[in-house]
Amino acid sequence: MRSIRLLAGAAAILVPILIAGSAFAADAAAGEEAFVRFGCYTCHGYEGQGAGTGPKLAPEPLAFDAFSTFVRQTSGDMPPFTPATLSDEELQNIHAYLESIPATPDPASIPLLQQLQ
């Protein structure tokens, strides 16, 4: 009886914590701010479009697992960002920001460009 009460007590404490933990929703606007704050833009460009200093990251960034693994370990050509400096939540936000960047439109779909020919 006592152990059942203990179990119920533990569940009452743990279940809301687990639910709150899994309810994290990546925030692209916060990710844009973090992308600037952590200096990613200095090598990859503000829109992740790439530059001489780093490859393009967007549109269509790597899937989150590969993205996260690379940022945590890198190849040596990029400084690694460990969870101590850049949290998983911030990294998910940065990924959401890069995912939110639209693909460049097909030039054929831009009427003004067709008039220039």
Q: Which of 26, 46, 98 has its CA nearest to residue 67?
A: 98
Find the shortest distance in angstroms from Cβ 103 to ligand HEC: 16
| Site residues, ligand HEC (CB under 6 A) | 38-40, 42-44, 53-55, 57, 62, 67, 70-71, 75, 77-79, 81, 86, 94
When the beta carbons of 12 and 84 are compared against ligand HEC, the nearer one is 84
CB-based contact 44:55 (threshold 8 Å): yes
Burial class (CB in 10 A: 0-12, 13-18, 19+), 85: exposed
When the beta carbons of 74 and 110 are compared against ligand HEC, the nearer one is 74
Find the shortest distance in angstroms from Cβ 22 to ligand HEC: 23
When the beta carbons of 57 and 96 are compared against ligand HEC, the nearer one is 57
When the beta carbons of 42 and 114 are compared against ligand HEC, the nearer one is 42
Enumerate the β-bridge partners of residue 33. none
Find the shortest distance in angstroms from Cβ 100 to ligand HEC: 14
